[in-house]
Amino acid sequence: MVKEKDIGRKDFVKASGGLIKESIFNFVNSYKPDLVEKLTKNKDKFHIPKKLLNPPGAVENYNEKCTACEQCIEVCPYNSIILFHDKELNKEVAKIDPYTSACYLCKDIPCSSICPDEALEAIANRLEIKLGFAAATFHCLNQKAKEKVCAKCQEVCPFLDSCITFNRFNIPSIDKKVCLGCGICAEHCPENGSGIIIFPKK
């Protein structure tokens, strides 16, 4: 058996590949359960910032192009789009807050085709929507209970278990290739969106 002191640093990291492949969350949960418990209890000290999403079809320079005309807001049947004040640009911009009212992936995607400012490009297929991707956090109820007591995110996901499964720690494992970042899971999270966070598309 090769001891750590007998191999170089690079080789040691390579030999630890099995652990590295696990997510940081699972690694900490497995080897530092006390730390995980501390992080879970002290939410304010380990706050995860929540960011708003651009509407479907947003172009690269969306914030600059959006004129806050509100047409996308008016056609959204779920009232998912709101006006948000962008401090950097000092202007109002149409955004989606997935933690209060997610994007429900309308079949005809009216918001993307009505924009008069070319800030949004028309999308023909809702599967082409990519708002970002979701990820589980330390605040997941299953993490607190140390067992699977909640599967709400999977139940409400448009793709069900083809997108969200549960790892060996009963924490949601979300496939980034399938996830569209709609935020439905975050909106329905019993932890008020703390158990699931949506990372906006860059």
**Single pTM value for the model:** 0.75
Say which range, 56-70, 109-123, 185-199, has the weakest mean pLDDT. Answer: 185-199
82-88 long-range contacts (CB < 8 A, ≥24 apart) are 84/52
List of residues 6+ apart from 123 with CB closer than 8 A? 56, 57, 109, 112, 113, 129
CATH number corresponding to 62-128: 3.30.70
The pLDDT, as a whole number, for residue 48 is 60
Query: Over the stretch 135-165, which tens digit does the pLDDT of each residue have?
Result: 998 889 998 899 999 999 999 999 988 999 9
Extents of the domains making up the chain: 23-48+130-200, 62-128
Closest of 94, 98, 99 to residue 75, by C-alpha: 94
Averaged pLDDT for residues 82-96:
96
pLDDT at 117 over 50: yes
